[in-house]
Amino acid sequence: MINLLLFPVLIPFLFATILLFFPKKVKAQRVITTLGLLTALVSAFALLWKVKTDGVQSLTLGSWAPPFGITMVSDMMSTLLVTSSLLIALFVVWFSFTSIGIKRETSFYYPAILFMLTGVNGAFTTGDIFNMFVFFEVLLMSSYVLIVLGGEKVQLRESIKYILVNVVSSSLFVITVGYLYSIVGTLNMADISIKLAAIGQAGIVTVIAVLFLIVFGIKGAIFPLFFWLPGSYAAPPIPVLTLFGALLTKVGVYAIIRTYTLFFTTDIGFTHELLMIISILTIIAGCIGALAYFDVKKIVIYNIIIAVGVILFGASVMNESGMMGSIFYLIHDILIKGALFLLIGVIIHITGTSDLRKMGGLIKRYPVLGWSYLIAAFGLAGIPPLSGFIGKLLIVQGGLEGELLWQSIFILASSLIVLLSAIRIFIYAFWGEEKGVQQVQPRTYRHLLAPTITLVVITVLYGVGSEYLVPFMTDATTVLLDPSVYTDAVFGGGK
Amino acid sequence: MKTNDLIIQTTTKLVFFIIFLFSIHIFFAGHYTPGGGFVGGLLMSSAIVLLLLAFDLKTVKEMLPVNYTVVTAIGLLISIATAAGSIFFNVPFFTHVYDYFNIPLLGKTSIHTAMFFDTGVYLVVVGVTMTIIQMIGGDE
Amino acid sequence: MEILMSILIGFLFMAAVYLILSRSLLRIIIGTGLLSHGTHLLLLTMGGLGGKAAPVLTEGVTVKDYVDPLPQALILTAIVISFGVTAFSLVLAYRTYKELGTDNMDLMKGTEDND
């Protein structure tokens, strides 16, 4: 099965196509979507196993020789990301059954989610820089559909800005690929890595590195390019927000990590220093936002920005602990953001508002929700033994090994602010006088809570069982720190 | 206001088929020369747009009772199925094959799996373009 | 020739930025169209202009003579994508105009007070 690494990309695409035939049959849409995601998830786990036992998988489409055809590469990092994004999508779809509403379900909601997953998984898997642009566009086009679906006024207004920002950043992406092509004359990422290493330190390569940082920084929401994110993400309904918040920025972060470990390794003194400074600034901006708002959606959205900063800081130090911490934290953040958004989705469903000042005292009637929120909040802040702990510990350790004392202390301090911002939601929404509580049918409540609690349990397991994940993370780190593993896998015929 | 569109309506009835045949020609020309599914699909949808210009949306819907979303879906399915055929032979995805066949009337013709893929592209282009145009035009 | 192309690309980008920064939605969409045109020309220029023969190695054609086919393939892909995005944003702009009753970006600012 040499095509196995394509299955997590193809299966969502195939099922999305099938769903297009009968948009009005809600039952069939739900069943087929779940079936498709489960199949894709099984194939992703099979791929994970294969990458673990046989090393990096690579396949060049159309049987062309590697630098000429489009290459798809699955190393441990991309496989882990593919698996966790399919997992999140499964929970979001489960949550959507009760919360998204029949009107959206009959207007291509599920196909759009599956097409977006095709784009996300494709961007994680591809080994060709222009093909990455194409997959970015696939996921962006579906995200345009998802953000505007339903056609509320606020959605229309915000989606125009979202589309405009992304169109400009896509143009920049193509321009950057054009510059890169004019230097190395190839698009295959493994080939680019070899050619750039042969060129060595050159001004134009640094320019391209910074341009890539801008392009992926717009998608990944780094400072100062995150300006579009809070407004646009707050517009769509909760399941869509969960999907965006958990996955879309991570694609940008993945692309930054991939290009900065594979391509731009010759002028680390400048490019990675810049990445480090920007990641610190990103954390500051995120912290300010997370404390400034009384809107639950906004608070968690600004926490995405903080997480992006933390992950990039770990990647920028370029040593083993930092990189491993980044990957740990990246997967953790996908899962925990998914869980948190679903939790606040339930809160918003109960209170009917996203304003903290209009809610309170939920713990009396909804204790399970309250306590699982508290666990998720602790996990977000990285309190041991929950999921954020090991990642942050390794990142800080990497920072100290890289002789970045103050920056590492700063990362630790930012955890406190993350904790404060998350606990603020807990204090306002669950403690105090009971207000803003609407009558929610117990059945609906249970249906909303089931996927949410399951996801929280998974994040806890991720934290507690991180011991068993270390071999996987070590594999991922090895590939990132040593590009030759990647290039050898591509040019070695991918057997 | 109802204008007298007799000339454009009469010509359109004829020209539609000419454009349609030309789009098929371009589609097959794509085999070895410039052309192919994308251009052919655009030509086909421009023919339908011409119909929309000459008659109104309702009449055209009666003439061509097609659900364009389904056309898009069929196109995608054909394309992905052609490409996925390589999975069953355990060769890399998108690997193409061709052979020569003796077809009655046409003689010795080469048939290429890329042609089936392009058929899908043709249908997707027609489907998507017409969906967009109907969405804007149908909303009076 | 490359210099001429660079000036043209710069001019297209200039016009695109001017249009994107204007207030009317339609102008913004035309601006993004111009932006992608500039990008495609840049891609073509970056691949190296010149070359007379089609990129097929036949008799009398050496590697030096023929055009680099890759930028053209990339441009074709990018054109199709920008076609899709432009069509989508046109539909969206139309819907927005009908819902909000304005195409002025100044009136679409903010999140709370303009509902």
Band of the pLDDT at C99, cuts 50, 70, 90? confident
DSSP letter at B94 equals T
Q: Touching check for B77 and chain A: CB below 8 Å? A: yes
**Which of C25, C77, C100 is the closest to A153 by Cβ?**
C100
8 Å CB contact of A168 and C93: no
Q: Touching check for C85 and chain A: CB below 8 Å? A: yes
State the virtual CA torsion across A227, A233, A235, A240 in degrees, nearest 10: 160
Query: Three-state SS for A385?
Result: coil
What residues form DSSP beta bridges with C24? C104
pTM of the model: 0.93
CA of C48, closest CA in chain B: separation in Å?
A: 22
**Rounded-to-integer distance, Cα A466 and Cα A393, Å:** 12
pLDDT in tens, chain A (495 residues): 788 889 999 999 999 999 999 888 899 999 999 999 999 999 999 999 999 998 898 888 888 888 888 899 999 999 999 999 999 999 999 999 988 888 888 889 999 999 999 999 999 999 999 999 999 999 999 999 999 988 888 888 888 889 999 999 999 999 999 999 999 988 999 999 999 988 887 889 999 999 999 999 999 889 888 988 988 898 899 999 999 999 999 999 999 999 999 988 888 888 899 999 999 999 999 999 999 988 899 999 999 999 999 999 999 988 889 999 999 999 999 999 999 999 999 999 888 888 888 888 888 888 899 999 999 999 998 888 888 899 999 999 999 998 888 989 999 999 999 999 999 999 988 888 887 777 778 888 889 999 999 999 999 999 998 889 999 999 999 999 988 889 888 887 544
Question: In this predicted structure, what is the pLDDT of residue B63?
Answer: 84
**Rounded-to-integer distance, Cα A105 and Cα A103, Å:** 5
What residues form DSSP beta bridges with A120? none
Q: Touching check for C99 and chain A: CB below 8 Å? A: yes
**Which of C46, C96, C105 is the closest to A178 by Cβ?**
C46
Q: Give the residue numbers spanning the domain of B43.
A: 6-138
DSSP letter at A295 equals B
CA of A63, closest CA in chain B: separation in Å?
A: 6
Pairing relationship of beta strands B98-103 and A71-74 according to DSSP bridges: unpaired
Give the tokens for residue B89. 């032979």
More confident residue, A50 or C100: A50
CA of B92, closest CA in chain A: separation in Å?
A: 5
Q: Give the residue numbers spanning the domain of A350.
A: 4-493
Owner of token pair 């403690």: A431
CA of A15, closest CA in chain B: separation in Å?
A: 10
| Residue B62 counted as domain residue | yes
8 Å CB contact of C91 and B38: no
Q: What is the assigned CATH class of domain C2-50+66-106?
A: mainly alpha
Is the predicted pLDDT of residue C61 greater than 80, yes or no? Answer: no
8 Å CB contact of B128 and C91: no
**Which of C80, C84, C91 is the closest to B136 by Cβ?**
C91
**Rounded-to-integer distance, Cα A56 and Cα A310, Å:** 27
Per-residue pLDDT of B59-115, as tens digits, reads 888 888 888 889 999 999 999 988 888 888 888 888 888 888 887 877 777 788 888
Amino acid, res. A428: Y
Helix pair A268-292, A203-220: axis angle to 10 deg? 20
How far from chain centre, in Å, is Cα A359? 30
The tally of domains found in chain A comes to 1
Residues of A in contact with C36 (CB under 8 A): 167, 171, 174
Residues of B in contact with A69 (CB under 8 A): 92
With CA atoms as reference, the chain B residue closest to C92 would be B136
Residues of C in contact with A165 (CB under 8 A): none
- Helix residue spans in A244-295 (DSSP H): 249-262, 268-292
Q: How many CB atoms lie within 10 A of CB A468?
A: 9
Query: Which secondary-structure segment (H or E) carries A322?
Result: helix A320-351
Are A316 and A268 a contacting pair, CB within 8 Å?
no
**Which of C70, C81, C100 is the closest to A156 by Cβ?**
C100
8 Å CB contact of A14 and B80: yes
Are A252 and A221 a contacting pair, CB within 8 Å?
yes
With CA atoms as reference, the chain A residue closest to C82 would be A167
| Residue B51 counted as domain residue | yes
Average pLDDT, integer, range C96-110: 80
8 Å CB contact of C85 and A141: yes
- List Cβ neighbours of A274 (8 Å cut-off, separation of 6 or more): A210, A213
Is the predicted pLDDT of residue C59 greater than 80, yes or no? Answer: no
What residues form DSSP beta bridges with C104? C24
With CA atoms as reference, the chain A residue closest to C33 would be A167
8 Å CB contact of B135 and C91: yes
**Given a contact as 3+ CB pairs under 8 Å, which chains touch A?**
B, C
Query: Three-state SS for A435?
Result: strand
CA of A119, closest CA in chain B: separation in Å?
A: 15
**Which of B38, B132, B139 is the closest to C87 by Cβ?**
B132
The tally of domains found in chain B comes to 1
Name the percent of chain B lying above pLDDT 90. Answer: 31
Concatenate the DSSP letters of all residues of C5-40 into one string.
Answer: HHHHHHHHHHHHHHHHTSSBHHHHHHHHHHHHHHHH
Residues 18-77 of C with CB under 8 A from A: 20, 25, 28, 32, 35-36, 38-40, 42-43, 45-48, 70-71, 74, 77
Are A469 and A77 a contacting pair, CB within 8 Å?
no
Q: Touching check for B66 and chain A: CB below 8 Å? A: no
Question: How far are the Cα atoms of A149, A323, A385, A408 from residue A393, in angstroms, in the given order?
Answer: 40, 12, 11, 10
8 Å CB contact of B128 and C80: no
Residues of B in contact with C75 (CB under 8 A): none
8 Å CB contact of A62 and B72: no
What residues form DSSP beta bridges with C53? C66
More confident residue, A226 or B34: A226
Question: In this predicted structure, what is the pLDDT of residue B2?
Answer: 60
Average pLDDT, integer, range B38-52: 91
Q: Kindly calculate the radius of gyration of chain B based on its CA atoms and give it in whole angstroms.
A: 18
Are A120 and A278 a contacting pair, CB within 8 Å?
no
Are A62 and A38 a contacting pair, CB within 8 Å?
no
- Residue ranges per domain, chain C? 2-50+66-106
Q: In degrees rounded to 5, what are phi and psi of residue A143?
A: -70, -30
Number of H helices, E strands in chain C: 3, 0
Amino acid, res. A344: I
Concatenate the DSSP letters of all residues of B28-63 into one string.
Answer: HHTTTSS--HHHHHHHHHHHHHHHHHHS-HHHHHHH
Are A105 and A144 a contacting pair, CB within 8 Å?
no
Question: In this predicted structure, what is the pLDDT of residue A494?
Answer: 43
Is the predicted pLDDT of residue C109 greater than 90, yes or no? Answer: no
Owner of token pair 């042609």: B115
**Which of A3, A13, A20 is the closest to B92 by Cβ?**
A3
8 Å CB contact of A164 and C28: yes
| Residue B1 counted as domain residue | no
Question: In this predicted structure, what is the pLDDT of residue C94?
Answer: 87
Q: Touching check for B67 and chain A: CB below 8 Å? A: no
Q: Touching check for B91 and chain A: CB below 8 Å? A: yes
8 Å CB contact of A171 and C35: yes
C32 exposure class (CB count in 10 Å sphere: 0-12, 13-18, 19+): buried
Give the tokens for residue A57. 């998988």
**Which of A6, A17, A23 is the closest to B76 by Cβ?**
A17
Q: In degrees rounded to 5, what are phi and psi of residue B107?
A: 80, -150
